[in-house]
Amino acid sequence: MKKAKILVTRAVFPEVIARLEQYFEVEHNQADEAWSKQQLADKLRDKVGAFTTGGERIDAEVLAAASQLKICANMAVGYNNFDVPAMTARKVLGTNTPDVLTETTADFGFALLMATARRVTESEHYLRDGKWDRWSYDMFSGSDVHGSTLGILGMGRIGQGIARRGAHGFGMNVVYHNRSRLSPELEAECKARYVAKDELLKTADHLVLVLPYSAQSHHTIGAPELALMKPTANLVNIARGGIVDDAALAAALREKRIAAAGLDVFEGEPKVHPDLLTVPNVVLTPHIASATVPTRKAMANLAADNLIGFLVQGKALNPLNPEALA
């Protein structure tokens, strides 16, 4: 029987390509070339499945060219690169990779929180620049993590992982805000107390953002929200660019209206707002929260499982818009 044709949009682990090749005729991009939207649309023209990452926008325009496409399997838990209503209208199923990255991403949220609170990169630059000639009593003094108040905005799986680390590992007082409250059992397990958003902003010593990006969550943290935060507070964004107004954040950091920020995601990434590059009290990383070898392998394999599950066995594992199949 002729194998179905799929496209893998970016370079990925060779063993995952080999797995996919057992089932499909695979057009891959192991050279990791940057394709234009038109190139992506052209390559999808004769494909029934696509393995995508968060960088490829699958919208009405791309879908219009991809008349045979049945499934897009994203190697990411977030899927704001998918225009889900447009996919549903075209009967294209979207899938994502939840669960497999939860603990790794929560680890990184904590790494960024710690690095920000204790000024790790700023002090390292000072040392590397040869500026360290003597000790002083206040050199790179930061803020305490243990015993402080950890605020979490967005209390899904990753938010809960961060809460557990904070409460159980660092004795932090954990408060959170979310669209819906957790069950009493989960709140007890995470030792987390639900508060209104304003209270979260006003009380957090360290505020971690872990909510999904959508038109509704655009600029959830802008100048008015930053104004509510303590001048000693740290802000950590491991969610998505666009949730924070980066220009407003850079101004707040420059004017020391908040103490520091740790950012793994940016508006318009991989471009970074130039003002963020010039303020010292910010730790910047290039969207690597899920980047450990085992986790990235698990994500890639889960995206492959979704393609194989759906196109070969008739059932996807992580469908985002099952109504597309109706």
Residues forming the site for ligand 8YV (CB under 6 A):
53-54, 75-78, 101, 290
- E strand map for 46-163: 49-52, 71-74, 93-95, 149-153
Minimum CB distance to ligand 8YV smaller for 54 or for 262: 54
User: Where do the DSSP E strands lie in 90-183?
Assistant: 93-95, 149-153, 173-177
Catalytic status, residue 269: yes
Q: Is 296 an active-site residue?
A: no
Our answer to whether residue 61 is catalytic in this structure is: no
If the CB atoms of residues 160 and 290 are measured against ligand 8YV, the closer one turns out to be: 290
4: tokens are 């179905």
Instruction: Compare residues 58 and 77 and give the one whose CB is closer to ligand 8YV.
Output: 77
End-to-end alpha carbon distance in the chain: 27
Residue 31 CB, nearest approach to ligand 8YV (Å): 18
Q: Which is nearer to ligand 8YV, 231 or 286 (CB)?
A: 286
Our CB check for ligand 8YV shows the closer of 260 and 300 to be: 300
CA-nearest of 260, 259, 226 to 243 is: 226
Q: How far is the CB of 76 from ligand 8YV (least distance, A)?
A: 3
Whichever of 35 and 194 has its CB closer to ligand 8YV, that residue is 35
Rounded Cα–Cα distance for residues 273 and 217 (Å):
19
- 295: burial class by Cβ within 10 Å (0-12, 13-18, 19+)? buried
| Least distance from ligand 8YV to the Cβ atom of residue 130, Å | 35
- Measured over the CA atoms of residue 140, residue 145, residue 148 and residue 154, the dihedral's sign is positive
CB of 296 to ligand 8YV, least distance (A): 7
User: Which candidate in 28, 119, 177, 240 is catalytic?
Assistant: 240
- Candidates 187, 269, 273, 296; catalytic one: 269
Give the Å distances, CA to CA, from 283 to 138, 172, 260, 264. 20, 22, 8, 8
Q: Torsion angle, CA of 56/47/301/10, rounded to 10 degrees?
A: -40
State the nearest-atom distance from the C-beta of 156 to ligand 8YV, in Å: 11
- Cβ neighbour number for residue 188 with a 10 Å cutoff: 10
Residue 239 CB, nearest approach to ligand 8YV (Å):
8
User: What is the distance between the alpha carbons of residues 223 and 219, in angstroms, rounded to a whole number?
Assistant: 9
Centre a 10 Å sphere on the Cβ of residue 167 and count the other Cβ atoms it contains.
17
Catalytic residue annotation: 240, 269, 287
